[in-house]
Amino acid sequence: MHAREISGLAEIAPAYEAVLCDVWGVIHNGVSAFAGAVEALAAFRRQGGKVALITNAPRPHGPVREQLQSLGAGEEAYDEVVTSGDVTRDILAEFARRGGIHHIGPDRDLSLYDGLGVELVGPQEAVAVSCTGLADDRVETPGDYRDLLVRLAERDLPMVCANPDVIVERGGVHVWCAGALAEIYEELGRKVIRVGKPYAPIYDAALAAIGHPSRDKVLAIGDALHTDIRGANQAGIDCLMVTAGIHAAEFGPAHQPEPEKVRQRLADEERHVVAYLPYLAWGKATAK
């Protein structure tokens, strides 16, 4: 059955008791929140639904809640936040029992290690690598890290990738994420443990956080085929796709995606969604 375009979440909301909603690209663009998306989730909650935000942010949920508030997405829009960082912490704690960990990423992600007893060390002292992103994703590219990754690969260190995203859009500009460095490390023949969407543990954690609703009553909302849509499909959860996100350029005008282009891309990727809309909204979808 072909996915259908809908005008807003209200069209399909009665079929669901809970929503697992992506953050970056659906609720905000890294600079400011999308008012229509915030209102859509708030309206769903007012009707008795539960909302868990599920994000590949490589930090614990506390700092992510603070970021959401600063961008204009208040707690009226969600019940819980579950991050890739949340589900990474147990893995890092296990490695920390064996020795120090080498961190690759910006200082803003250091809250990932709070309370874990992790000792951050240089490449030569580490027993594992923890990658949360590029140190300065405004100017750096994955290629800038190849020499470092080669040195780490020579020591055969496992890498924990706390954000499987390869690229995201920040205020209309594409920026590289930890997943891009993980791809290089795998090309070098070394082990990468990816945590977050599309992998099962983050979905299990999000469902647990909102009381274990039946999966046939849960709707995932996202914009990225390789993480959001793939993850929902693998988890056995219906999915609503936001087309004006990371793949917007592939679907025609952002405000009016071309149905055949959307359906063809879904078919090419062997992904399934119950519906799609350009921007998340409660009623008629409007621009961000």
Co-location of 69 and 96 in the same domain: no
Q: Which amino acid is at 2?
A: H
The first and second tokens of residue 125, run together, are: 């002292």
The first and second tokens of residue 72, run together, are: 């204009």
The pLDDT assigned to 168 comes to 83
Here the CATH number for the domain that contains residue 231 is: 3.40.50.1000
pLDDT band at 287, cuts 50/70/90?
very low
Please write the tens of the pLDDT for every residue from 54-91.
999 999 999 999 999 999 999 999 999 999 999 999 99
Rounded to whole angstroms, the Cα distance separating 165 from 175 reads 10
Co-location of 79 and 138 in the same domain: no
**Rounded mean pLDDT, 169-195:** 92
Rounded to whole angstroms, the Cα distance separating 67 from 51 reads 18
Asked if 113 contacts 162 with a C-beta cutoff of 8 angstroms, the reply is no
Co-location of 79 and 111 in the same domain: no
Whether residue 286 lies inside any domain: the answer is no
The pLDDT assigned to 174 comes to 83
On the CB side of 219, CA atoms within 13 Å amount to 24
Whether residue 64 lies inside any domain: the answer is yes
**DSSP string spanning 131-191?**
E-S-TTTTT--GGGGHHHHHHHHHTT--EEES---SEEEETTEEEE-HHHHHHHHHHTT--
Co-location of 269 and 227 in the same domain: yes
pTM above threshold 0.85 = yes
Co-location of 188 and 204 in the same domain: no
Please write the tens of the pLDDT for every residue from 242-264.
999 889 889 999 899 999 999 99
Co-location of 166 and 94 in the same domain: yes
Select from 147, 173, 194 the last residue of a domain: 194
The first and second tokens of residue 138, run together, are: 């405004």
Check pLDDT > 90 for residue 172.
no
Q: Domain containing 240: what range?
A: 4-84+198-277
Whether residue 287 lies inside any domain: the answer is no
The pLDDT assigned to 288 comes to 45
According to DSSP, residue 120 is labeled B
Q: Write b or e for each residue in 210-248: b if 16 or more Cβ atoms lie within 10 A of its Cβ, otherwise e.
A: beebeeeebbbbbbbbbbbbbbbbebebbbbbbbbbbbb
The total number of structural domains in the chain stands at 2
pLDDT band at 1, cuts 50/70/90?
low
Select from 147, 169, 194 the last residue of a domain: 194
